[in-house]
Each structure stands twice: as structure tokens, then as C-alpha cells.
Amino acid sequence: MADSKKFRVETPTGAVEFDLDKILSAELDPEETKEALKRKLNLLNIKAGEKGLLWSLVDKTIWIGNKLLKIGQKIIEVVVYVVSKFPMTVSGLVLGLTIQMLMQAIPFLGVFLGPVVGSLLTGVLFFGGMILDLKNKIQVLLSGSIHTLKTAFSEA
């Protein structure tokens, strides 16, 4: 494939190579994917109106070259994945952005407070949520390891 678009990303654990043609031409059953996505979206702990707003994106598409990409479906998949894997990080980010918008609404002072203090507060809440998510992931990993060690030594 001489005209295939390949991207290589270096990570601390090794290199990962992506083939854009394979990603864009992935054949999925759209109805099955939509139903699975709808089930995942319904499991999120958000209001029905917000779920409806997210679901309205599912049929949005975009042309990239001569390929049709279901961009709305991809966005919803990413949102559902991030919210399910990192709930505290998302909560911190949403809370920080909400406070920042409220600070910007203050007459006269909001012009100065919003961009500086609001951005700092958003960053602090985002990283605070990320630390809590990482702490929870580490606790789950350690509890699984401790349980494995206990069962290994109790059998011996």
C-alpha cells in the first residue's frame, strides 16, 4: 500500500503505529453499534436531557477525502469511555469550568477573575480529580494483587 497513511507514535512503553485507511474503513454493523452505544449512554449518571443531547450527535458524519467518517458516533464513544473510566477527573473539570463561567459573569471583576483565577481553579480541580481516579485505580490493582498473594500463600 504505497498510498496508505501511517502514523507512528512513540510512547514510554514502546511505539504504536496507526493506519488511517484501516481506521476509516473499519466495517462495523451500524445498528448493533448504535444499540450498544445507546445502552452505554443510558448507564451514565447524567440527566435525560443531556443524554438526548449527546444522542443527537450520533448521526453526524464528515467526509475525509473519499471516506465517510461517523464523527458523531466516535465523539459519543470517546465521551462514554472517558466518563466511565475517569469519573472524578470529568467531575473536577466540569465543576471547574462551571465556576469559571460563574466568575466571568461577575460585573467588572469577572473580566479579570475569569481568565486567570478561573483557569487556575479549573486546572486544580481537574488534576485533583485525576489524582483521585489514579488513587482509586491503584487501590483496585493493589487489592487484586494482595488477594492473589493471599490465595497463593494459603494454598501452599
Residue 37 belongs to what domain range?
28-85
Same domain, 120 and 155: yes
Q: Cα separation of 134 and 81, whole Å?
A: 16
User: Are both 119 and 155 inside the same structural domain?
Assistant: yes
- SS3 at position 18: strand
For the question of whether the overall pTM of this predicted structure is more than 0.75, the answer is no
Q: Let me know if residue 11 belongs to a domain.
A: no
Can you read off the three cell numbers belonging to residue 29? 454493523
Per residue in 40-87, pLDDT tens? 888 877 788 888 888 888 888 888 777 777 888 888 888 888 888 888
Q: Give pLDDT tens digits for 8-31.
A: 777 667 777 766 666 555 544 455
| Domain boundary pick from 70, 85, 100 | 85
Together in a domain, 91 and 145: yes
